[in-house]
């Protein structure tokens, strides 16, 4: 199935020469369905791609697509040599699947307000990226502390309201654990607690991880998530985007 990107969004990217563009995103769902989300000028190429390959995520298929996208994106002043297409997995749980959650090895603490003291006692984690003032009940975090220090957390990365998939609000989670506290089940415990919090509020929950991040994949599966899809976005950067911006 080919689905065109919102034309206004596409125009805002191309006309304003935004530094990142994703002309094609390939999604293969766990139930076998396939979807190509494409910019309008890639529709014919997407049709040929879909008709040529059965396995859209094979190395042969991705190389074929990248080779044909390169001159198109170069003409639009995007650097094909720096194109990224990292595969990632999306796991999901719905409120109806609450019973699928596995018991956690450790209890995690729920926070709806992140204080300055909390930020000062974190163990080299990216807590500064999360603003929580308690005014939004859908903004919560679960943490594990060791000797008063936050060493692991799960938090909200994104909220997608009234998604077309079942009409649910979907909460996308982010998890991080200090290096010295990994392989102890802390990440799974934080994800389990935060997932339960949102499922009990009637929200769907998403967990995304890189295809090569095996520990993260194991965390999702240990918690009880079901694989929903594998996604490969073809990400292009403008020629004048330096390495720091790309990172």
Tally: H helices and E strands in the chain: 7, 11
What confidence tens digit (pLDDT) does each residue in 13-66 have?
A: 998 889 999 999 999 999 999 999 999 999 999 999 999 999 999 999 999 999
Neighbours of 60 (CB within 10 A): 10
Q: Is the pLDDT of residue 150 over 80?
A: yes
Q: Which domains does the chain have, with CATH numbers?
A: 2-89+230-246 (no CATH), 102-223 (3.40.630.30)
Q: Select the more confidently predicted residue: 134 or 236.
A: 236
Residue 244: its pLDDT value, please?
44
What confidence tens digit (pLDDT) does each residue in 111-140 have?
A: 888 777 777 666 567 776 676 666 777 788
**Mean pLDDT value of segment 204-233:** 93
Residue 118: its pLDDT value, please?
73
What confidence tens digit (pLDDT) does each residue in 62-96 have?
A: 999 999 999 999 999 999 888 998 899 999 999 99
How far apart CA 74 and CA 53 sit, in angstroms, is 24
Neighbours of 177 (CB within 10 A): 24
Gap between the terminal Cα atoms of the chain? 32
Residue 86: its pLDDT value, please?
86
How far apart CA 149 and CA 136 sit, in angstroms, is 25
**Mean pLDDT value of segment 100-115:** 88
Q: Is 182 helix (H, G, I), strand (E, B) or coil?
A: coil
Residue 236 CB partners (closer than 8 Å, separation 6+): 20, 21, 22, 23, 69, 73, 78, 79, 80, 82, 83
Q: Is 117 helix (H, G, I), strand (E, B) or coil?
A: helix
pTM of the model: 0.81
Residue 235: its pLDDT value, please?
95
């Amino acid at each position: 199935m080919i689905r065109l990107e919102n034309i206004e969004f596409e125009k805002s990217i191309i006309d304003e020469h935004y530094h990142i563009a994703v002309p094609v995103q390939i999604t293969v769902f766990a139930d076998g369905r396939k979807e190509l989300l494409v910019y309008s000028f890639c529709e014919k190429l997407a049709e040929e791609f879909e008709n040529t390959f059965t396995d859209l995520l094979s190395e042969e298929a991705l190389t074929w697509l990248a080779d044909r996208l390169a001159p198109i994106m170069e003409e639009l002043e995007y650097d094909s040599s720096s194109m990224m297409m990292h595969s990632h997995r999306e796991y999901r749980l719905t409120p109806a699947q609450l019973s699928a959650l596995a018991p956690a090895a450790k209890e995690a603490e729920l926070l709806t307000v992140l204080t300055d003291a909390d930020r000062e006692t974190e163990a080299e984690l990216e807590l500064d990226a999360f603003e929580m003032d308690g005014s939004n009940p859908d903004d919560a975090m679960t943490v594990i502390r060791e000797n008063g220090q936050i060493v692991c957390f799960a938090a909200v990365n994104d909220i997608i309201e009234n998604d077309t998939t079942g009409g649910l609000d979907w909460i996308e989670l982010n998890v991080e654990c200090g290096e010295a506290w990994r392989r102890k089940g802390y990440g799974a415990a934080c994800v389990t607690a935060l997932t339960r919090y949102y499922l009990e509020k009637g929200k769907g929950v998403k967990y995304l991880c890189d295809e090569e991040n095996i520990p993260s994949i194991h965390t999702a599966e240990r918690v009880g998530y079901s694989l929903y899809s594998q996604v490969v976005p073809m990400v292009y950067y403008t020629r004048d985007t330096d390495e720091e911006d790309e990172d």
